[in-house]
Amino acid sequence: MSPTQSLRSLPVPQAILFDLDGTLVDSVELRIEAWRRALGQHGVEVDHDRLAPLIGSDGRRLAREMSSETGREFDDAEAVAVDNLSGAIFDELNATPQPHSGATALLSALELSYVTFAIATSSLPGQVMASVTSLALPSEPTIVDGSHVEHAKPAPDLLLYAAAQLKATPERCWYVGDSTWDMVASAAAGMIGIGVTTGAADAGALLAAGAAVTIEDLTVLLAELRRRGLPT
């Protein structure tokens, strides 16, 4: 079954939740570099390819996992410090974020539609506004970030909190993300995961992590929703 056919087979969503980095905005490489520098400043040297699959997961968990692999074993306080440092470095690097193809058109159309939406990202509050601003949406979207829950992705907490903010039933939500952690969290939340291959994970990895379907970019999703009557 093609991605288009697979999308058409999905039930009508009550709400659609979106990851931010790598899904709506082309920022995965900057995230990787920010983490590489932050970990390096704390004595943990990690290369690009090792970090890439972990982008999108809870930052404190990422920091602890990387330190454990090198024998440093960050405690909770240092994991938080590295997570915050990574965010600060990312802010400096993310000076001119670029939305992915179809992102602005899709979210702008959703604002006028019967489907509510929110951005659900593991990032901390100060790390999201430059990317969200780059989307140039008609009004500020609902944003749920890592500060709203104790455990971010791959735990389902972030997605469930976002659904609650939209007064949506999790089983009637689609979650669109580019990482395997997005799909694991989506499955754990009982949502329909739509993997988009604009980040570090390919279609096979996204499907293996729980995606119901994968698409090459957001223009495919926009076309399907327009077929279902989404405003143009």
Shared-domain flag, residues 122 and 8: yes
218 Cβ contact list (under 8 Å, min separation 6):
23, 24, 100, 101, 102, 103, 106, 176, 196, 198
Number of H helices, E strands in the chain: 11, 6
Domain match, 119 and 63 both: no
- Do 157 and 83 lie in one domain? The reply is no
Residue at 232 is within a domain: no
Q: What is the pLDDT of residues 181-227, one digit of tens each?
A: 999 999 999 999 999 999 989 999 999 999 999 999 999 999 999 99
CATH code, 88: 1.10.150
Residues recorded for the chain: 232
CATH code for the domain in which residue 172 is found: 3.40.50.1000
- Where residue 4 falls among pLDDT bands split at 50, 70, 90? low
Contact between 94 and 131 under an 8 Å Cβ cutoff? The reply is yes
Residue 215: φ, ψ to 5°? -135, 160
173 lies in the same domain as 208: yes
**Structural domain tally of the chain?**
2
* 3-state DSSP assignment of residue 66: helix
36 lies in a domain? yes
Q: Are 137 and 41 part of one and the same domain?
A: no
Q: Which of 70, 93, 116 is the last residue of a domain?
A: 93
Find the domain containing 64 and state its range.
28-93
Q: What is the pLDDT of residue 152?
A: 86
Beta strand 173-177 with 15-18 is parallel
Asked if 28 and 121 count as a contact pair (C-beta separation under 8 A), the reply is no
pTM of the model: 0.92
Same-domain pairing of 86 and 120 = no
